[in-house]
Amino acid sequence: MKIFRSKSKKKLYFVVRSEYEIPLGHRVVEFEADSILDWVQNHWVTREVSQKHSEKLVGRVYDFDSIWAAMLDYGKNPPRNTAELKAWAELISVEGEVIFNDDYISVITNDDEISVEWCFFTEDFAKLHPERVNYVLHPTWEFPLAFEERGQEINLQSVIPLKEHNSSEQGSTYCVFLTSRDGITIEDITGSFKFEGVRLPEFGKYLLNIENPIKQGRDGEMRPFWEDEVILLKAHLVTTQTQSIPQLLESLGDKVNNLNANRSPIGNQLYKDPAFMSGDNEKLTHDQQTLENLIQSQGENSVWSYNMGKPRVQTSDHFCQIRFHNIVYSEGDQYGRMEYLSSVFYFDDLWVEANPLLAESLIRYSKGEHFIKGKDEKKERSIDKPYVKPAETKKLTDEEKKQEEIHLSINRRMMNIENQYFELISDQNSVCYVDPKTYNSEVASPMEYALHIGYKTKGVKIDSKTDLPISLYDLVAANMDNRELTAE
């Protein structure tokens, strides 16, 4: 944590949240300032500031230069009060969303690869809302392992229950996944889930013995009810022949490619295995190759390769975590290289009782964007929504069917022309000329290629000094009575 000292006795925190931040998943810079207004006034600029100045203050942070740009746009003198500070904050321009409060500024943006969130908040705000910021201000990746005897539940809507409570069973296990898919690494984060009636020491055994739940999705197809990460956890328990979550995490090491768990439809993959569907663990144990192939099927027919640095693992009876260091690269780094973090936490109500603020702030953080706002709302999943049968489509008349077939035929011929054209210019790397009698120009587009191979404009006058007054679609349509023409 960087610390910048001034005359102020209060602290102002700057937090950047990103999967690039290894091993914490975020970075904290501590300034001494009475308020956000005080910090802005002390860092006001009236000329363009280099990127090095930003990096000296907070390190490399995508879109942070928008702070200086807003100062330049605002004027020579800094804001004098909260109202003027708000007017300045409205000038901060990023690729995402900016929210402003007297005690914090929060920004969501995207660097074209992953989402990035950064924010300022005051020490007074941190003291008033420790349940929001305790996790990000925790100084190391390792958590305290102390636990109590009675147990304490976390009553947040954003924790999705995955098992009905049974009054004869005690305790709960929480699964927190700071994982994501398809580059939407904050807004659509996987989130937090709760299994009621089972604590962490028995959680692995419980997963192995319970039937794999399925439910009808919105499209009418049967889907796994559990999240992909829970399904993958069970699959690894089977293949490693262990019933202990801590033992499993200790054994994973660099064998696991985390991308399988967090960015591919692993749930649908595993549900292709009949033995996994039926919960036949004995068969799976004797025939693990099929299951392992499904777990590890990732990146086939892709320019990308996937690897993993040594993950950080912390285990105990009532809390454990694994932080995956993922590496994605292309051959010879032709398309670049990316390293990113994904973190998974498992803990029970006994650990929560000993660490209530850390537990709640971690779950709030897993809710997604703008954790600083403290929003608590249930995360909607498509599997939870009732299936609505789609409305029947209107039956086409014979004439409409005929027109639809013509339209599809035109599109197919257009695609054929475009494919031939691009093959010509990429493979031969040569210049092909249209017949001068038709159009005196180099073949520089699929349209000109169509004219070159014999498509006729059907009376439309062609002027070589102007653009063609006809689209490729119309040109093909005008030649529908002709046979499919190819280049000689």
Any idea where the domains of the chain sit in the sequence? 2-128, 159-384, 398-478
More confident residue, 96 or 305: 96
Amino acid at 167: S
Kindly list the distances between the CA atom of residue 320 and the CA atoms of 10, 175, 345, 353, in Å, as whole numbers in the listed order. Answer: 34, 10, 6, 15
CA dist 63 and 185 (Å) reads: 17
Q: pLDDT at residue 434 above 70?
A: no
Answer whether residue 254 shows pLDDT above 60. no
pLDDT of residue 435: 44
Instruction: Using the predicted structure, report yes or no on whether residue 185 has a pLDDT greater than 90.
Output: no
DSSP 424: I
Handedness of CA 12, 17, 20, 24 (dihedral sign): positive
Contact 204, 281 (CB under 8 A): no
Mean of pLDDT values over 257-266: 42
| pTM attached to this predicted model | 0.71
* CA–CA gap between residue 95 and residue 106 (Å, rounded): 13
- Tell me what the mean pLDDT of segment 250-265 comes to: 51
pLDDT at 439: 42
Question: What integer is the mean pLDDT of 134-152?
Answer: 95
For residues 410-439, average pLDDT = 62
What pLDDT digit, counting tens, does each position of 352-377 carry? 999 999 999 999 999 888 899 988 87
DSSP notation for 123-142: HHHHHH-HHHHTTTT-SSS-
Q: pLDDT at residue 64 above 70?
A: yes
Give the number of other Cβ atoms within 10 Å of residue 83's Cβ: 8
Q: Which of 11-15, 308-312, 350-354, 464-468 has the lowest mean pLDDT?
A: 464-468
What does the angle CA 11 – CA 13 – CA 14 come to, to the nearest 5 degrees?
Answer: 150
Helix (H, G, I), strand (E, B) or coil at 388: coil
CB 195 within 8 A of CB 175: yes
Q: How much of the chain, in percent, has pLDDT values that exceed 70?
A: 68
Q: Range with the lowest mean pLDDT among 70-79, 297-306, 318-327, 417-426? A: 297-306
Banded model confidence at residue 184, pLDDT cuts 50, 70, 90: low
Q: Which residue has the higher pLDDT, 84 or 395?
A: 84
How would residue 259 be classed by pLDDT, with cut points 50, 70 and 90? very low
Percent helix, percent strand, percent coil in the chain, to nearest 5: 35, 20, 45
* Model pLDDT, residue 146: 96
CA–CA separation, 8 and 12 (whole Å): 10
Segment of 163-167, 211-215, 443-447, 477-481 carrying the highest mean pLDDT: 477-481
pLDDT given for residue 433 in this prediction: 44
The more confident residue out of 431 and 89 is 89
Q: Cα separation of 196 and 189, whole Å?
A: 22
**Mean pLDDT for all residues in the chain:** 77
Predicted local confidence at residue 201, as pLDDT: 95
Task: Note the pLDDT of residue 176.
Answer: 93
Top mean pLDDT of 195-199, 207-211, 344-348, 401-405 is at: 344-348
What pLDDT score does 85 carry?
92
What average pLDDT does the segment 170-181 reach? 86
Q: Per residue in 317-353, pLDDT tens?
A: 999 998 888 777 776 666 677 788 889 999 999 999 9
User: What confidence tier does 50 reach under pLDDT thresholds 50, 70, 90?
Assistant: low
